[in-house]
A and B are shown apart, each in its own frame.
Chain A
């Protein structure tokens, strides 16, 4: 791990991108002994519009809390993908939702497409856990935190009645990302 590892979760307001960022930051800084800063950027609308959460993870103190060159980005809508993909560094990862992002950007990054929302709908019956599937995928693809840490972090943030659903969503994320690698 370099001095800074930068992850951006992007989509539209209401898709849980900021929560995904918080969970990732907590996995790194509370359940592992790393530093993390999570910041967010969103429009005045509480639903819709491009929204993003950024997480910087480091073994050292973190100065600048926003991204400089992104190691891994998730795009859950076309608008967010088009607006934000340019900051992904050469050799970085861009993971997009297959059904939402049809116009694929070109760059020196590794582009991965997976039907995240559709998988949540078909296999778990709830699109609301699409963000948790993507957290599983990003954990698997980047290895920036362990599977155990992200699971502890997810489970500490969701209501008791939905522990099992979220556990399953995370497991699907790990498994499908492993197949993409």
Chain B
């Protein structure tokens, strides 16, 4: 039997391991700090597995290439950081409307613009959801450790295939660049979802078959002829101005995520059962928060932590429940106020305060502990 091996890996290396485990066989990207190690890793590993790695001329071309590869049936990945994410937004919207499975990794650095390349940040949370124009679905996963980057990258591919939609893996520079010992999963140990096959003859195939909530996507070029366009389209993929079809499709691409939130949302709850003061945090900031909550508990303060592992769709239900029974919620985040507004929206009763930091340094456990003490 194969043995599980313990290795010291960097977060970005674990992303490569996760992508390959999930069956990713195509990567197109334009390297950018602090995500470059993902491109490096894929360039070394993919050719050995019969996959393809392409360094494109820019970020727009890379996501476009990944969308094209995915349409032919390959699980595809692109990785970037803030400035690249801005460029990719047009194609993220395109993948949402054309319903092309795709994983985008965004390793967050200080912004706006080229900002602070080597400094950590969590300031792309809203860009992850609303960066592309128009109403569109968004799934973003927010790992906090090297091991979790691996498992969440696998889950990102699964969700992308299950829902035929782009999925973002969203983590800050600290998580991306730190090294921790992890064990690599054995084949079969983690669930891997493959693309649904078309259940009809090629001549009967519609890429947006209106009998389905999520229609099977046949590999382009394998005999299934269809059209792909960013215009609102009919079930055969050709443009339409039929208002009923446009409405139904726009609602369906949102509802295919909205109606399955329980399947997508994943949270970690620490010491929340009897908590009076709660912290809601993601990524490296959640690690500071866990440290602070432990210290608070040791000092007799009833503090707890809710950590959304799925950032989008936002865990409304969990935050609503929490907000109805705790006195205060503290939201530390490496930006000037993004997730805090989501928490405010969901918790009408509890007092919500943010801790914000944009100097390229992490929010420390001491900062969070101080905020917890204020509410004691």
Using CB atoms and an 8 Å cutoff, list the residues of chain A in contact with chain B: 22, 25-26, 29-30, 35-44, 62-66, 68
Q: Find A39's partner among B178, B290, B294, B364 (CB 8 Å cutoff).
A: B178
Q: Is B47 an interface residue (CB 8 A)?
A: no
- Asked whether any CB of chain A lies closer than 8 Å to the CB of B362, the reply is yes
What residues on A are CB-neighbors of B181 within 8 Å?
Answer: 29-30, 35-36
Q: Are A44 and B8 in contact (CB under 8 A)?
A: no
Asked if A22 contacts B179 (CB within 8 A), the reply is yes
| Contact, CB under 8 Å: B118 / A64 | no
Measured between beta carbons, the chain B residues less than 8 angstroms from A42 are: 118
**6 nearest A-B residue pairs (beta carbon):** A29-B181, A63-B291, A39-B178, A38-B179, A64-B291, A63-B290
Q: Please determine whether B118 and A43 come into contact, CB atoms closer than 8 angstroms.
A: yes
Instruction: Compute how far the CA of A111 lies from the CA of B8 in the bound complex, rounded to whole angstroms.
Output: 31
Q: Besides A40-B177, A42-B118, 5 other CB < 8 A contacts?
A: A25-B179, A36-B8, A36-B181, A63-B291, A65-B174
A30 with B6: CB separation less than 8 A: yes
The answer to whether A26 and B288 have CB atoms under 8 Å apart is: no
Contact of B174 among A35, A66, A68 (CB under 8 A): A66
- CB neighbours (8 Å) of B178 from chain A are 37-40, 65
CA gap between A65 and B290 in the complex, in Å: 11
The proximity string for B residues 212-230 relative to A, scoring 1 for CB distances below 8 Å and 0 otherwise, is 0000000000000000000
One digit per residue, 1 when the CB lies within 8 angstroms of any chain A CB and 0 when it does not, for chain B 51-88 equals 00000000000000000000000000000000000000
| Inter-chain contacts of A22 with B (CB < 8 A) | 8, 179
Q: Mark B347-364, 1 if CB is under 8 A from A, else 0.
A: 000000000000000101
Does B365 count as interface, using CB distance less than 8 angstroms? yes
**Known contacts A30-B7, A30-B8; is-contact A63 B287 (Cβ 8 Å):** yes
The chain A residue with its CB closest to the CB of B288 is A64
Interface of chain B: mostly helix, strand, loop or mixed: mixed
B316: CB under 8 A from chain A?
no
Bound-state Cα–Cα, A35 to B181, Å: 7
Question: Closest chain B residue to A22 by CB distance?
Answer: B179
Give A29's nearest chain B residue, CB to CB: B181
Tell me the chain B residues, 270-309 only, with Cβ under 8 Å from chain A: 284, 287-288, 290-291, 294
Q: Cα distance A64–B288 when bound, in Å?
A: 5
Min CB–CB distance A26 → chain B (angstroms)? 5
A64 to B305: give the CA distance in the assembly, Å: 14
29 contacts between A and B (CB under 8 A): A22-B179, A25-B8, A29-B180, A29-B181, A30-B7, A30-B181, A36-B180, A36-B181, A37-B179, A38-B178, A38-B179, A38-B180, A39-B177, A39-B178, A39-B179, A40-B177, A42-B118, A63-B287, A63-B294, A63-B365, A64-B287, A64-B288, A64-B290, A64-B364, A64-B365, A65-B174, A66-B174, A66-B364, A68-B365
- 0 or 1 for each of B70-108: is its CB under 8 Å from A? (1 = yes): 000000000000000000000000000000000000000
Specify which chain A residues have a CB less than 8 angstroms from the CB of B6 in the assembled complex.
29-30
Known: A26-B8, A68-B364. A41 touches B180 (CB 8 A): no
B133 to chain A, nearest CB (A): 32
Choice from B118, B291, B365 contacting A44 with Cβ under 8 Å: B118
A41 contact set on B, CB distance < 8 A: 118
- Please, how many angstroms separate the alpha-carbon atoms of A38 and B178 in the complex? 6
Q: What is the CB-to-nearest-CB distance from A150 to chain B, in angstroms, rounded to a whole number?
A: 14
Q: Which residues of B contact A43 (CB under 8 A)?
A: 118
Nearest chain A CB to B217's CB is how many angstroms away? Answer: 39
Q: Nearest-CB distance from A6 to chain B (Å)?
A: 13
Task: Tell me, in angstroms, the Cα distance from A37 to B177 when the chains sit together.
Answer: 11
* CB-CB contacts below 8 Å: B200-214 with A: none
B117 interface contact, C-beta 8 A: yes
B180 to chain A minimum Cβ distance, whole angstroms, is 5
Q: How far is the CA of A62 from the CA of B365 in the complex (A)?
A: 13
Chain B positions 181 through 197: 1 when the CB is less than 8 Å from some CB of chain A, otherwise 0: 10000000000000000
**Are A29 and B8 within 8 A (Cβ)?**
yes
List the B side residues contacting A35 at CB < 8 Å. Answer: 181
